Amino acid sequence: MGSTGSVSSWDEALLTAMVQFPAPVIKGPEDIQRQVTEICRTVDTTKAGYPGLDLIVFPEYSTQGLNTAIWTYDEMLLTIDSPEIGQFKEACIRNDVWGVFSLMEVNDDPSLPPYNTAIIINNKGEIALHYRKLQPWVPIEPWAPGNYGMPVCDGPKGAKLAVCICHDGMFPELAREAAYKGCNVYIRISGYSTQVNDQWILTNQSNAWQNLMYTMSVNLAGYDGVFYYFGEGTVCNYDGNVIQQGHRNPWEIVTAELFPRMVDKARENWALENNIFNLGCRAYVGKPGGEKENYLTWVEDLAKGEYKLPWDDKIKIRDGWKYYPDGIKMGPMPKS
C-alpha cells in the first residue's frame, strides 16, 4: 500500500519520506555547514507537514557534495563525532523521527582514503546503524572499500533496516546479505546521474522481489553544472511492484506507508517464490529437507579469496584511469 500524502499512520504502519535533495554545488569546506543547515531545516519542515512521520531519508552526497577535485582533502571530511553530525542528531530528537544521512568519513587510518558512509540516527539522537559503502563506483570514486559489512538494525514499527549506497544496489549479493540478516526495509541512497536511470528502477524492483522486502531508494535531483541527477525516489513492495515513484523534481518528497509485519508474514508463510528460503534447501519436495550443499562456484571462490572471471585477463580498466592519473589527493587542501 502506497501513501498518497498521508500525514498520519496507524500503529503498525511505517510512514516514510525520501527527499530528492538538490544536487549540491560545493566549492570548499565552508559550503558544508550550509548543506547541514538545509538538511536539518528540511527535517523540521517535513515533520511539520507529516506529523506522523517515522523515517526520513536523504540521498548520498547531500552533505558534502560531489566535487571530485576536492572531496578527499581533510577539510572536506567528517567523522561520526563531528559537530555537523551532532546537528543531525538534534534534528531527529527535536522532531521525534529517525533519519538516514550521508557523509564522507575520515578513515580510521588517516593515511588511507576516506569512506563513503551512511548513518541511521534514531529519534533519541543515537546512531542506530553505521555503514560504509562496500562497492564504491569504480573507476571514479576514490573511497576505501567498506569494512563494516552489511549491518542491520531494529527500526520503528517493526522495521529491520539496512542501508546501501548507490552502486551497492547494483549488486544482488548485498541485498541478499541484508535480507539474510533479517532486513525487511532496504534503503538505498544515491548520487547517480542519468546514465543509469533505467537500471536504477530495475534493480530497486529486483532487490525487493528476490528478497521479499521493501526497498526505499532516493537519488539527488537537478543539475550541478556538470551532470543532471534524476531524483526518482522509488518505493517497491516486497512483491517487486513499484508502489511510489518520484519524478525528476528537486525537493520532491516521496512518501510511503509501509507495513514491515507483512514482509515478515510473507517470509514465514509463502511457499511459491519464497526464494530467499529456497536457496538454502533446494528441491525440498523431491528431497525432504532439501539439498543444502553449496553448488555455487563463485561463492566458494570468493570465500577463499580466489574470485576470478574467465575473462579476467582481458579486463582493461583496473585503476583510477583518467580520473586520477596522478593518484588520489589527500591531506590538507592546497593554499590558493
pLDDT in tens, 24-46: 999 999 999 999 999 999 999 99
* Cβ–Cβ under 8 Å, residues 44 and 303: no
Whether residue 5 is predicted with pLDDT greater than 70 in this model: the reply is: no
Is position 173 annotated as part of the catalytic site? Answer: no
Q: Could you give the 3-state DSSP secondary structure of residue 127? A: strand
* Cβ–Cβ under 8 Å, residues 56 and 100: yes
Whether residue 53 is predicted with pLDDT greater than 70 in this model: the reply is: yes
Domain boundaries, the chain: 14-279
Chain position carrying cell 552526497? 61
Q: Sorting pLDDT into bands at 50, 70 and 90, what band is 58?
A: very high
d(CA 216, CA 204): 8
Give 173-214 pLDDT, tens digit per residue: 999 999 999 999 999 999 999 888 899 999 999 999 999 999
d(CA 82, CA 102): 13
The count of other CB atoms within 10 Å of the CB of residue 5 is 8
Burial class (CB in 10 A: 0-12, 13-18, 19+), 130: middle
pLDDT given at position 289: 95
Is position 329 annotated as part of the catalytic site? Answer: no
Arithmetic mean of pLDDT, 246-255: 95
d(CA 30, CA 156): 35
d(CA 211, CA 124): 30
At position 258, the amino acid (one-letter code) is: L
pLDDT, averaged across the chain: 95
Q: Can you read off the three cell numbers belonging to residue 164?
A: 546501501
d(CA 117, CA 131): 6
pLDDT given at position 6: 67
Is position 181 annotated as part of the catalytic site? Answer: no
Q: Sorting pLDDT into bands at 50, 70 and 90, what band is 60?
A: very high
Q: Which of 47, 84, 105, 133 is catalytic?
A: 133
Give 280-307 pLDDT, tens digit per residue: 999 999 999 999 999 999 999 999 999 9
Q: Which of 153, 166, 183, 236 is catalytic?
A: 166
Q: Which of 40, 47, 60, 141 is catalytic?
A: 60
Four-way CATH pick for 14-279: 2.60.130.10, 3.60.110.10, 3.30.1490.20, 3.40.30.10: 3.60.110.10
Longest CA–CA span in the chain (Å) reads 72
d(CA 298, CA 39): 42
d(CA 48, CA 3): 17
The count of other CB atoms within 10 Å of the CB of residue 70 is 17
The single-letter DSSP state of residue 78 is: B
Closest CA to 87 of 58, 51, 54: 58
The single-letter DSSP state of residue 306 is: -
pLDDT given at position 2: 40
pLDDT given at position 323: 85
Arithmetic mean of pLDDT, 313-324: 90
Phi–psi pair at 121, nearest 5 degrees:
-110, 130
pTM > 0.85: yes or no: yes
Evaluate the omega torsion of the peptide bond into residue 139 and state whether it is cis, within 30 degrees of 0. yes
d(CA 167, CA 52): 31
At position 25, the amino acid (one-letter code) is: V
Whether residue 3 is predicted with pLDDT greater than 60 in this model: the reply is: no
pLDDT given at position 217: 98
